[in-house]
Amino acid sequence: MTELPGRSWQDLADAAGKRSEVPEGLWMRCPECEAMVYRKTVEQNLHVCPECDYHHRIGADERTRQLCDTGSFEPMWEDLRPTDPLGFVDLHAYKNRLATEQAKTGHADALVCGTGFIKGRRVVLACMDNRFMMGSMGSVVGEKITRSIEKAIETDLPLIIVSCSGGARMQEGALSLAQMSKTAAALARLDAAGGLFISVLTDPTTGGVTASFAMLGDFIVAEPRALIGFAGPRVIANTVRQELPRGFQRSEHLLQKGFIDRVVHRKDLRSEIGRFIDYAGK
């Protein structure tokens, strides 16, 4: 198992950029082990590097395809769109950013959710999409997570949320912050109803998403070597003015510190989720 030093946000953004530029070629270079690998092989291997087991980031569509029994996923609330409640403008206007991201991903916002079957077990599944504004949580993501939780309560189905996010979305200000308490409150109701919530953390899960629903699973599993934390590594490094320990904020580190139940390889996610449901689902 390779241990990585904490990466900065810029590295993450750069790496994401590099990755999205590659897809045309037949061959690709693994950002982790730098081996040249045949793209098809990586794709057939669930987007995991056959050489070093590096888990490439995948979008929500690929995720639902991987997790659900073939053709069983039925998306819900796809019509929910973000508005621009603050009229937020930084170097770009939020409105324009949204339009660009929507065109790029074909989704209205950074979360795809619905119902499907995992190894024959019916579930409510919500997957964050890192390609859409770093998977950040604004009103739409918060609303869809909450509706997914409510759907799980109404139908007695297990709830699976696959997180992958830079945190709360700055462009919606305090409204994004409020999505943290909104989703957490909805989970209190699911908990009271005896519902099962399996939280799957993938690279990266940080900020307001980690500090709300993602860390509230009955079971919390993470893909190998995913960055998981509250503050970003660069912010921490700037605050404490020292080098971060090797492997800091990685799945294996969190496992060792006692904050996640298991590190699960992508190829085993379906079966592990299935097992949790067998033991704890209604």
The partner residues of 37 in beta bridges, in order of sequence, read: 28
Contacts of 11 (CB under 8 A, 6+ apart): none
Binding residues for other proteins, rule CB under 8 A, total 66
Give the distance, in angstroms, between the CA of residue 102 and the centroid of all CA atoms in the same chain: 18
Q: Which range in 43-51, 59-67, 184-192, 262-270 contacts other proteins by CB under 8 A?
A: 184-192
C-beta of residue 12 within 8 angstroms of C-beta of residue 19: no
Q: Can residue 75 be called a binding residue for other proteins (CB under 8 A)?
A: no
Residue 269 has which token pair? 């996610």
String of DSSP letters for 215-248: GG-SEEEE-TT-BB-SS-HHHHHHHH-SPPPTTT
Q: Which positions from 28 through 67 interact with other proteins, judged by CB under 8 A?
A: none
Q: Find the shortest distance in angstroms from Cβ 42 to other proteins.
A: 31
Q: Can residue 126 be called a binding residue for other proteins (CB under 8 A)?
A: no
Q: Which of 130, 163, 165, 176 binds other proteins (CB under 8 A)?
A: 176
Q: Which of 20, 44, 96, 181 binds other proteins (CB under 8 A)?
A: 181
Q: Which is nearer to other proteins, 48 or 263 (CB)?
A: 263
Q: Can residue 5 be called a binding residue for other proteins (CB under 8 A)?
A: no
Q: Which is nearer to other proteins, 28 or 108 (CB)?
A: 108
Sheet holding 219-222, edge to edge: 74-76, 111-118, 121-128, 159-165, 197-205, 219-222, 262-263
Q: Which of 27, 188, 193, 267 binds other proteins (CB under 8 A)?
A: 188
Contacts with other proteins by CB under 8 A lie at 9, 79-83, 85-86, 88-91, 138-140, 142-143, 146, 168-170, 172-182, 184-189, 191-192, 207-208, 210-216, 229-232, 235-236, 239-240, 242, 244-245, 248-249, 253, 257-259
